[in-house]
Structures are given as structure tokens and as C-alpha cells.
């Protein structure tokens, strides 16, 4: 059961998408700029981001056209949209980024709801994406959220996959407000995950897990969470699902906020000039698993975060 | 019957075969997949040991939510509502039947009842009498009940013949800080219960619970005793019971410590041939206790070790008042069992599939049976103790040998000082052409070891011991089709065939005494259908129908085996899901008694109203059972048939704090 706020993201974007498909056939009045938003409706977080983006752009003389990569008619819809020459094309999620870059959308391309590590090694994007809002939460922000909830816990460990790209260990360490309080361990494969995690015992108060499907999935979740409980070493996850599974706490982007942030970026890109910007989420959410915290013997400061989601 | 069964299975399978879309490919390894994807709820699943038999069986799960909204008060209530199960009562114990087997005189020995994976079978009578208030775990403590149909001896050994019923309890962290309840019904039962969940710090959490029951008894009219000398068949203020239940659970990291203490005394109106009818002094008392620890450790990505050690205790006592001239002879049985079991299980993921290896050892310290006259003269007739030593090894290998095909091969070797050895193999094959459909085939050779009572009990002139008793054996074939038919509709078709051999039965000897011998051969064939629908997200309905035939070697239908079983239940939440109305219907076709008398078919209607967070911390459950006041009798062992209870109502008030 969830308190304070629902963990399930509503799907107003789906209804918005159905309504706004009409825009694909509508003509745009003079002075109104066209923005194409390519997104996967099957992913609820992306739909939530699109809703945030759409609402933020409403009333700014911008016509937003939604194209769903999960629809069978996407190819035809994309061709139709390209003919209209949108000023900015927003790609939401990596599938949408690939779909946009495969086609010759004119104008500027803004990528959002992707992870920087997933994009870093992708040569096809070099020079093609004008600006981006990544989902990577700066380590400084992450640690600050943990300190709000658990003021006495100051030592933090982080598991990093060196094979995924993104920031190096020294770059991550330099981003921390107190670099000495952050210990980083590399883990390249799922087989190494448990020994790497266990090596943090008695050295840190938390172990941060960064989004990485090769390390954290249905096969590795159980032994990792069991080890966390057995050794009383809490996991800091990256999603509500991870908290539901058994991580003690998670800090994750506010997806609607990412959409709003993307809308601000889009508005800058609609103006003449350079709008290149690589941003991280301005707003983050946090969730705790009260049951797991009780099993670990930990208390948290609920009042520190009025929007905290508490799973029981 | 055989051809009809086959046709029905094929018809059911063809109805459910639709346009199967291939199963979705596994998720990729990107960060976004992890960020947006789902993860299995490890904590909920890992808080208490899971049943070893995971997928290849026809399984029904009853959740805590089901228990509350349908007003189930006992484990017997739960089984009464589940496809294919029957419940019989002789007003002393409740007896469950499945697969057509519900033989009067069998103390649920063909079932395995477990609490968090710990078998509850006691070592004196080999019974699993846990379907009434004699079960010491109150249902408020239950997280879910896993009912796994079919053989399970390949993993659990003796008693895993017809079904495995595993009760998973709530963890201390899942429970409210404090809860209390009081319950009463129109049959005379009064019950009070209290539980508390305490955070002891440093990750140690404790749950303690206790309840007391008192049923002063009510009048019961039994036509078989309708003579002036026997009060015209009226048992005055009997059919009562009293006792207590208690349970404690402490969790600390990977450790789980639990304890269970339970006693129930039943004042029975009828105790069998030779006993005095309507005697206020007669009783049955059962005590079942255990205390144990479980440790679970995950080594690496794909292997896990679990160790359990339990101390168990069982005691039984009864009093028979035998007529003797103008007085009575107060004759009593008293039995005690104490044993320690330790089990080690190792699971790992091999390249071909999951592998489970295990070893279980049991040391019985006491397995004592006594019988004596207390008055008018003290005479000891029986005082024997035959504690057993046993060891078992088991293994199960899962093998995904082709796309969408998985096979399970299991075997267990049991070796006992008292009954020798037995090998139980089991094979299952599961075919899943899509995420919506699965086909399961199971073959197993389960067994039930002879109990200490059957082997050693001797009473001059009445019972003769039999030290050459062998285990009852069975061969079981099961075939199940499960299909997610539509958005909220699921369908199941389950067909089975059982052969029971060397069945232990009481045989009358030439001198008039009786002795347990391996003489019986039984078989059963059946097919079951079930539909579960949850349309509109608010109405929850389940309907099932079972056709079965159980008979002996001569082709005679077994007693207490209905040919048809129909069940229906529905639940509707109202007023912001805070009030729930539910109803249930159960039909049993006519059954034969041991004397080959047909009893009336059964048609029971139940209704329940329950609340969930309706008032500040206060809820209630109220219900009516046998609303139509259907009059019927159950075939039992103590006499040929005994009237069942008529219409009754109950109400339960619950107060919770700190949820």
C-alpha cells in the first residue's frame, strides 16, 4: 500500500495523444510553431513526461504533434509530420531517439528521458541531437536527498559499471559535495555484483545502484536484496519498482518535471540561436520501503520531504 | 465416465485455444529498461519460506484479502470454497477431501499441511486435523494459503498424496502494531484474540499473537440414538470446545524464529461404538506445539541455501465412558510425541534449469501411546513407545529442453527405522506456448507411511498391533490447462487419475478384534473446471465444477465421495471499497456412508459483509452460514452419519492500531 501519493502514474497523456492526433491533419496558423513529439505510449513514465511537456507548452503559440512509436502507423505518421517540417522534434526515450534519427526530421532535435550512459557510446547521435534532458541524477543531488531522510548516515558507496560509459569514477567523485564520503566500486558483470556489494560491508551506510539493466534485473534482484537484509546494508535504488522489490530507498526523476524541463528547453530551441544544453533533472522524487527500513532497523525523517512516497 | 472425462478435457482445451501470440522476448539490458521496468517483489516472497513445488501443478492461492472479504474463519472454510475440495465434520474434527478421497476414519493423512514450509503432520496418528478451531494459527495471521493439488512426496515425503496446503504467515513488519478482535456465533462460539508487532531495534522485529476460544456447546439431535435410554437422541449442551492458540515470529536479517502453541478440547456428543451417548465427561484434547528457526542465505546470482530446525510436540488425550452395569468405566487414551527435524535445502540455477537438493533428518524422542481405565479401578492396558529415526534425500531438476517446454524431474528417498524405505519419483512437463496459456502434465508416486497408532496400538480383545505394515502408495496422473481467456477472465481445466494401493484399513480378525492391514486398493478419476472473472475491476467471481468418481477394487463407490461438486463465490466492494459484500454457494451430490446409505445432496449458501478501514481502526465482519438452513448429514466414522449444523450467524469486531 502506498501513502502520500500514488505510485502508479496516470495516463492523461494517452487521452491527450488521442485528442491531439487531430493536430496531424490540422493546419497551423501563422506565427504558431510546430513541435513534433515522438514517444512510446507503452512506457508510463514517458507518457507522464509528455503530459508535463504538453501542459507546459500550452498557451505559448506552439502546436504539439504527438507520434507514438508503438503504433503500427508510426511510419506513415512520421512521414506526414516530416512533410510539415516541425521546428523542433522531441524524442522521448531511446526508442524514439533511434526512430527520429533514422528519419530526416528537419529542424532541431531534443532528446529527453534517456540516460547519458546509454547515449555516450552511440556514435550515430553525435551532432544530431541538439539538446537533451537526461535522467541521470547528479550524485550531489542524490546524496543530498539521502541526507534529508537519514541525517545520521553520511557514508555512501556507489556501484558503477565501467563498461556502460558515462562519467568516470573520478568525475563522479568530484561531483559529490564531500568527495571523501563517497566510495566507488566498479562492477562490470552481474556475476560480480554480489561480491562487489558485500565488499562495502562496514564501510558505508548506503550503497547506491545506478540504472543498469545488465546488473539489476529479475535474476539479480533477489540475491542482492537478500544480501542487503542479511548484512543490514541498505540499497539505494533508482525506481519505485526497485523499492517495491526491496531496496530501502530510491531517488528517481520526477518524470512530469522532466517533461516540463524539456518544454523549457524546446522553447529556447524555438528561438533563433544556439540552444545546445545537456541537462539533468531539476526535480527528483524519493520513495522508501517502510517494511525494509524496519527490517534494517532504520528510521527516516518523513517530514524532510513532503512528497516522499512511503511503501508499506 | 472415463470417456466423458476425456471428451470434456478435449472440449475444454479446444474452447480455450485461441490466437496465441508468442511470449514477449526478454527485456534488454539498457539503463532505461531497469529504470522503467518492473522487478519481482523479493521481500514479500522471501520473508517466509516458500513451498518447494513451484510451478508444475494446479495451484490455488487464497490471499489475506480473500480471507477477510469472504469471512473465512477456519482453514476448513477456505477449503470449502476451493475447487474440488470437500469438508466433512463429525463435530469433533473436520476432514477435508479431494480427488474423490474423503474416507471416513482417515484423519486427513493424505494431505500435507504446512506453516511456512514446516509440515504439521504429527507422529502418533499421522494426522493433519487442522481444518477447524483445532488449527492453532488464526487466519488473521495469514498472508496467503497456497493449495497445490497433486502429489508432492518427491519433495516432502510422506502424506504428500492428494494436495499440499502451505500457510504463509504475515511477517512482523507486515502486521499492525496492535490488533484485537472478538468473535461470536449463534452456535455458541466465543473467541477473543490479540496480536502485537514490535520493532525491537537493530532490524529485529517480533510478532506475538494469542487467542482463546470457548464454545459452551449446544444441543445436537442424532437420529441414530433416538431411544429413551439415550435421551431420545438429544446430546445436551455438547458439541462444544475450548482452547487457546498462540503464535510468535521474530525476524532478524536472514533469520526467522517462530513458535506455535495450541490446545483444543472438544466435548463430543458421539465418540463411537461402546462409548456412552450424551455423557458430559467425554472429551478429545489435542495439543500441537512447535518452535523453530530458519536461515536463508543467497550466495551469488543464482544459488541459495536454506536451513530449518524445528522442535515439535503433539499430545492427545480422550475420555470414553463405557457403560458398566449401573455405572461407567472411565477409559482414557493419552499419547505424546516429541521430535526434532532439521532440513537443509540448496537451490541453484544450472545452465539447463533450476536444481534443488535437500536432506531432512528427524529424530523422535518420544512416541508414546497409553490406554488405561481411570475408574472404578485403575488398569493400564497399553504403555508403549516406539520413537522413529528417519533420513531423507531429495532432488529436483528443472530442464528447459525446448522453446516453451520445461520438464521437472524429482525424486526422494526416505529411510525410516520403523517402516523401512521408500522412493518417490515425480515428473512434470509444462508447455507454455504464450504468456496466456500453459499446459501441465504431472506424474508422481507419492506415499503415506503407516502411523505409530496403526502399527503399534493394541487393546485387549479390540485392537491387535501390526508390525509388518507397509506404506500406502499411490500413482497420480494430472493434466491441467490454464488460459488467460480475456482481459479479466481466467479458465482452468484439470483432469486426474489416482491409484491408491496398499491402503491401510481396519480388518476384523476371526476373534473379533481388529487390526490395521495393507488391504485396500482405491482409484479415482475426475475433471474440474474453473472460471475466475474480475470484470470492471470491482466484481470478483469464481465458479467451479468437478466431476469425479472414486471406487475400490470391486468397483464400489467409496464412501463420502460425491460425484459432482459445484462452487460459486462473488464479492462486490461498495462505498469507496470500504464495505464488501460477498456470497458463496456450494453443492455436493449425494454421498454414500460406510453402510452404503445415500445421504441427501448438499446445497449451502453463505453471505458475508466485511468492512475495511471503515471507521478509525475498527472493522467488522458478519456473516450467515447455511442461509437456507439446508438439513443434511455427513458420512463419518464414529457413527454412520451425523447431522451437520443448520443455519448460523457470526459477527467479528476488529480493532487495529498502527497499521
pLDDT digits (tens, 9 = 90+) for B114-163: 999 999 999 999 999 889 988 999 999 999 999 999 999 998 999 999 99
* Residue A269 pLDDT level (bands cut at 50, 70, 90): very high
Give the span between the Cα atoms of A246 and A224, in whole angstroms. 9
By the CB < 8 Å criterion, does A296 face chain B?
yes
pLDDT interval class at B242 (50, 70, 90): very high
Q: In this model, does residue A9 exceed pLDDT 50?
A: no
Chain A residues lying within 8 Å of B37, measured CB to CB? 213, 217, 239, 241
Percentage of residues in chain B having pLDDT higher than 70:
91
User: Which three-class secondary structure state does DSSP give residue B7?
Assistant: helix
Q: Does the beta-carbon distance from B32 to A238 stay under 8 Å?
A: no
pLDDT beyond 60 at B28: no
Q: What is the pLDDT of residue B53?
A: 40
Closest Cα in chain B, distance from residue A43 (Å): 7
Mutate which of A97, A112, A193, A226 to disrupt the B interface (most B C-beta within 10 Å)? A226
Q: Which of A24-38, A70-84, A172-186 shows the lowest per-residue confidence on average (mean pLDDT)?
A: A24-38
- pLDDT for position B329: 87
Contacts of B215 (CB under 8 A, 6+ apart): B133, B187, B188, B189, B190, B239, B240, B241, B242
Tell me the H-state helices in chain A. 12-20, 44-57, 74-83, 94-102, 116-120, 139-149, 169-175, 190-198, 218-230, 240-245, 255-270, 290-296
- CB < 8 Å to A164, chain B: 31
pTM of the model: 0.82
What average pLDDT does the structure give for chain B? 88
Report in angstroms the alpha-carbon separations of B141 from B175, B196, B422: 8, 11, 36
Average pLDDT, stretch A239-260?
93
CA distance A226 to A223: 5
Query: Within an 8 Å CB–CB cutoff, is residue A257 touching chain B?
Result: no
Task: Give B299's pLDDT tier (boundaries 50, 70, 90).
Answer: confident
pLDDT at B287: 97
Q: Are strands B618-625 and A33-39 parallel, antiparallel or unpaired?
A: unpaired
Rounded distance between C-alpha atoms, residue B190 and residue B388, angstroms: 39
Over residues A251-266, the mean pLDDT reads 95
Could you tell me if the ipTM is greater than 0.85?
A: no
CB of B34 within 8 Å of a chain A CB? The answer is yes
pLDDT score of B16: 35
Mean pLDDT of the residues in chain A:
84
| Chain B, nearest residue to A247 by Cα | B43
Contact A115 B35 (CB under 8 A): yes
* Of B17 and B471, more confident: B471
Whether A11 has its CB under 8 Å from any CB of chain B: the answer is: no
Neighbouring C-beta atoms of residue A58, cutoff 10 Å: 11
Closest chain B residue to the Cα of A197, Cα to Cα: B300
Tell me the pairing of strands B472-484 and B514-533: unpaired
Please give, rounded to a whole number of angstroms, the shortest distance from the CA of B658 to a CA of chain A.
12
What residue of A is the nearest CA neighbor of B29?
Answer: A213
The three-class DSSP label of residue B63 is strand
Q: How far is CA B265 from the centre of its chain?
A: 20
Does B376 contact chain A (CB < 8 Å)? Answer: no
Which of B24, B25, B27, B32 is the mutation pick for testing A, counting most A CBs within 10 A?
Answer: B32
d(CA A111, CA A91): 5
The secondary structure of B164-176 as a DSSP string is EEEEEEPPGGGS-
Whether A24 has a pLDDT exceeding 80, the answer reads no
Q: Search chain A and give the residue with CA nearest B171.
A: A291
Contacts of B173 in chain A (CB under 8 A): 290-291, 294-295
Contact residues, chain B, for A117 at CB < 8 Å: 31
pLDDT attached to residue A18: 47
B39 and chain A: CB distance < 8 Å anywhere?
yes
Cell numbers of B573, please? 466492494
What pLDDT sits at residue B266?
A: 92
Which of A239-253, B48-62, B367-381, B616-630 is the least confident region? B48-62
Q: Is B32 in contact with A219 (Cβ distance < 8 A)?
A: no
Confidence of residue B256 (pLDDT cuts 50, 70, 90): very high
- pLDDT tens digits for range B196-232: 999 998 889 999 999 999 998 777 777 777 777 777 7
Q: From the CA of B353, how many Å to the nearest CA of chain A?
A: 13
- A93 to chain B, minimum CA–CA distance in Å? 8
Structural domain of B234: 2-657
At residue B20, does pLDDT exceed 70?
Answer: no
Q: What is the DSSP letter of B340?
A: E
Looking at residue B500, its pLDDT comes to: 96
pLDDT of residue A26: 43
Cβ <8 Å between A211 and B300? no
Facing residue for B40 by CB, picked from A135, A218, A297: A218
CA dist., res. A223 & res. B302, Å (int): 8
Distances (CA, A) of A17 to A37, A66, A261, B245, B600: 10, 6, 20, 58, 62
What is the Cα–Cα distance from A305 to A233, expressed in whole angstroms? 22
- Residue B611: in which H helix or E strand, if any? strand B602-611
List, for residues B583-612, the tens digit of each pLDDT value. Answer: 999 999 999 999 999 999 999 999 999 999
pLDDT digits (tens, 9 = 90+) for A50-92: 999 999 998 878 899 999 998 889 999 999 999 888 999 999 9
Cβ distance of B42 and A194 shorter than 8 Å? no
A217 and B254 within 8 Å at the Cβ level: the answer is no
Cα–Cα distance measured from residue A303 to residue A149, given in angstroms and rounded to the nearest whole number: 8
Report the pLDDT value the prediction gives residue B273, as an integer from 0 to 100. Answer: 60
Determine whether the interchain pair A225/B43 forms a contact, defined as Cβ–Cβ distance below 8 Å.
Answer: yes
- Round to whole Å and give the CA distance between B72 and B570: 14
Distance (Å, rounded) from C-alpha B402 to C-alpha B431?
9
Lowest mean pLDDT among A9-13, A201-205, A266-270: A9-13
Chain B: give the shortest CA distance to residue A264, in Å: 23
SS3 B655: strand
Cβ–Cβ below 8 Å for B32 and A194: no
The DSSP letter of residue B98 is: B
Provide the number of structural domains found in chain B.
Answer: 1
Question: Residue B373 maps to which CATH number?
Answer: 2.40.170.20
Residues of chain A contacting residue B205, judged by C-beta atoms under 8 Å apart: 294-295
The verdict on B613 touching A (C-beta cutoff 8 Å) is: no
pLDDT value at residue B639: 85
Is the Cβ pair B254, A230 closer than 8 Å?
A: yes
Amino acid at each position: 500500500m502506498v501513502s502520500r501519493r500514488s505510485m502508479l502514474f496516470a495516463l492523461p497523456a494517452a487521452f491527450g495523444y488521442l485528442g491531439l492526433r487531430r493536430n496531424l491533419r490540422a493546419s497551423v496558423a501563422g506565427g504558431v510553431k510546430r513541435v513534433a513529439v515522438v514517444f512510446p505510449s507503452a512506457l508510463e513514465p514517458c507518457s507522464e513526461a509528455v503530459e508535463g511537456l504538453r501542459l507546459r507548452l500550452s498557451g505559448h503559440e506552439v502546436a504539439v504533434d504527438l507520434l507514438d512509436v508503438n503504433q503500427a502507423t508510426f511510419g506513415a505518421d512520421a512521414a506526414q509530420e516530416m512533410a510539415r517540417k516541425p521546428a523542433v522534434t522531441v524524442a522521448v526515450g531511446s526508442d524514439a531517439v533511434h526512430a527520429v534519427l533514422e528519419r530526416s526530421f528537419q529542424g532541431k532535435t531534443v532528446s529527453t528521458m534517456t540516460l547519458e550512459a546509454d547515449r555516450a557510446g552511440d556514435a550515430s547521435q553525435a551532432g544530431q541531437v541538439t539538446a537533451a534532458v537526461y535522467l541521470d541524477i547528479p550524485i550531489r543531488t542524490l546524496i543530498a536527498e539521502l541526507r534529508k531522510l537519514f541525517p545520521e548516515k553520511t557514508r555512501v558507496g556507489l556501484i558503477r559499471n565501467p563498461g556502460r560509459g558515462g562519467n568516470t569514477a573520478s568525475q563522479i567523485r568530484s561531483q559529490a559535495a564531500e568527495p571523501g564520503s563517497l566510495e566507488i566500486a566498479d562492477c562490470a558483470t552481474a556475476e560480480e555484483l554480489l561480491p562487489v556489494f558485500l565488499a562495502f560491508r562496514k564501510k558505508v551506510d548506503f550503497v547506491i545502484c545506478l540504472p543498469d539493466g545488465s546488473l539489476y534485473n529479475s535474476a539479480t534482484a533477489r540475491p542482492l536484496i537478500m544480501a542487503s537484509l542479511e548484512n543490514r546494508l541498505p540499497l539505494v535504488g533508482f525506481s519505485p519498482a526497485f523499492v517495491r522489490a526491496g531496496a530501502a530507498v530510491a531517488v528517481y526523476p520526477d518524470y512530469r518535471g522532466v517533461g516540463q524541463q524539456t518544454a523549457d528547453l524546446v522553447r529556447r530551441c524555438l528561438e533563433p540561436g544556439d540552444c545546445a544544453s545537456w541537462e539533468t533533472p531539476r526535480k527528483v522524487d524519493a520513495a522508501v520501503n517502510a517494511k525494509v527500513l524496519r527490517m534494517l532497523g532504520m528510521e527516516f525523517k518523513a517530514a524532510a520531504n513532503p512528497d516522499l512516497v512511503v511503501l508499506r | 465416465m472415463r470417456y466423458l472425462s476425456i471428451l470434456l478435457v478435449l472440449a475444454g482445451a479446444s474452447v480455450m485455444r485461441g490466437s496465441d501470440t508468442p511470449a514477449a522476448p526478454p527485456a534488454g539490458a539498457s539503463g532505461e529498461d531497469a529504470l522503467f521496468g518492473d522487478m519481482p517483489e523479493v521481500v514479500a516472497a522471501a520473508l517466509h519460506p516458500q513451498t518447494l513445488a513451484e510451478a508444475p501443478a494446479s495451484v490455488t492461492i487464497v490471499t489475506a484479502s480473500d480471507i477477510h472479504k469472504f469471512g473465512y474463519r477456519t482453514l476448513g472454510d477456505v477449503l470449502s470454497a476451493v475447487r474440488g475440495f470437500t469438508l466433512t465434520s463429525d463435530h469433533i474434527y473436520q476432514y477435508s477431501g479431494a480427488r474423490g478421497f474423503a474416507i471416513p476414519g482417515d484423519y486427513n493423512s493424505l494431505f500435507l499441511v504446512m506453516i511456512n514450509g514446516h509440515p504439521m503432520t504429527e507422529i502418533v496418528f499421522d494426522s493433519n486435523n487442522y481444518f477447524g478451531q483445532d488449527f492453532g494459527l488464526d487466519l488473521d495471521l495469514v498472508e496467503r494459503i497456497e493449495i497445490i493439488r497433486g502429489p508432492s512426496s518427491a519433495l516432502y515425503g510422506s502424506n504428500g498424496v492428494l494436495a499440499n496446503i502451505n500457510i504463509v504467515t504475515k511477517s512482523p513488519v507486515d502486521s499492525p502494531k496492535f490488533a484485537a478482535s472478538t468473535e461470536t456465533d449463534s452456535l455458541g462460539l466465543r473467541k477473543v484474540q490479540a496480536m502485537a508487532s514490535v520493532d525491537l531495534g537493530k532490524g529485529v522485529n517480533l510478532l506475538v499473537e494469542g487467542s482463546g476460544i470457548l464454545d459452551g456447546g449446544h444441543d445436537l439431535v442424532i437420529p441414530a440414538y433416538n431411544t429413551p435410554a439415550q435421551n431420545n437422541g438429544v446430546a445436551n449442551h455438547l458439541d462444544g470446545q475450548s482452547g487457546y492458540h498462540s503464535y510468535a515470529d521474530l525476524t532478524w536479517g536472514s533469520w526467522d524464529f517462530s513458535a506455535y502453541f495450541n490446545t483444543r478440547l472438544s466435548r463430543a456428543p458421539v465418540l463411537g461404538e461402546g462409548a456412552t451417548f450424551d455423557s458430559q465427561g467425554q472429551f478429545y484434547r489435542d495439543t500441537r506445539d512447535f518452535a523453530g528457526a530458519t536461515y536463508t542465505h543467497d550466495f551469488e546470482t543464482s544459488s541459495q541455501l536454506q536451513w530449518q530446525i524445528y522442535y515439535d510436540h503433539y499430545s492427545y488425550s480422550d475420555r470414553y465412558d463405557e457403560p458398566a452395569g449401573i455405572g461407567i468405566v472411565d477409559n482414557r487414551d493419552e499419547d505424546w510425541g516429541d521430535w526434532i527435524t532439521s532440513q537443509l535445502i540448496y537451490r541453484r540455477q544450472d545452465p539447463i534449469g533450476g536444481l534443488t537438493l535437500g536432506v531432512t533428518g528427524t529424530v523422535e524422542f518420544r512416541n508414546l501411546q497409553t490406554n488405561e481405565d481411570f475408574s472404578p479401578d485403575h488398569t493400564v492396558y497399553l504403555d508403549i513407545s516406539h520413537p522413529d529415526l528417519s533420513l531423507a534425500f531429495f532432488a529436483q531438476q528443472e530442464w528447459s529442453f525446448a522453446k516453451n517446454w520445461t520438464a521437472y524431474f524429482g525424486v526422494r528417498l526416505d529411510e525410516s527405522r520403523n517402516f523401512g524405505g521408500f522412493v518417490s519419483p515425480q515428473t512434470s512437463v509444462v508447455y507454455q506456448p504464450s504468456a496466456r496459456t500453459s499446459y501441465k502434465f504431472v506424474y508422481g508416486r507419492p506415499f503415506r507411511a503407516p502411523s505409530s497408532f496403526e502399527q503399534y496400538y493394541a487393546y485387549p480383545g479390540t485392537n491387535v498391533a501390526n508390525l509388518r505394515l507397509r506404506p500406502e502408495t499411490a500413482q497420480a496422473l494430472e493434466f491441467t490447462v490454464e488460459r488467460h481467456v480475456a482481459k479479466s477472465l481466467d479458465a482452468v481445466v484439470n483432469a486426474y487419475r489416482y491409484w491408491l494401493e496398499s491402503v491401510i484399513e481396519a480388518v476384523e480378525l476371526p476373534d473379533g478384534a481388529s487390526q490395521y492391514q495393507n488391504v485396500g486398493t482405491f482409484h479415482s478419476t475426475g475433471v474440474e473446471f474453473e472460471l475466475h472473472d474480475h470484470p470492471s475491476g470491482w466484481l470478483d467471481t469464481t465458479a467451479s465444477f468437478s466431476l469425479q468418481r472414486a471406487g475400490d477394487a470391486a468397483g464400489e463407490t467409496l464412501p463420502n465421495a460425491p460425484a459432482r461438486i459445484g462452487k460459486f463465490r462473488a464479492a462486490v466492494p461498495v462505498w469507496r471499497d470500504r464495505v464488501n459484500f460477498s456470497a458463496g454457494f456450494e453443492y455436493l451430490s449425494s454421498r454414500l456412508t460406510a453402510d452404503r446409505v445415500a445421504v441427501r445432496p448438499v446445497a449451502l449458501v453463505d453471505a458475508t459483509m466485511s468492512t475495511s478501514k471503515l471507521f478509525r481502526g475498527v472493522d467488522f465482519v458478519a456473516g450467515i452460514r447455511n442461509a437456507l438452513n439446508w438439513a443434511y448429514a455427513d458420512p463419518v466414522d464414529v457413527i454412520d452419519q451425523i447431522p451437520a449444523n443448520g443455519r448460523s450467524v457470526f459477527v467479528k469486531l476488529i480493532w487495529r492500531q498502527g497499521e
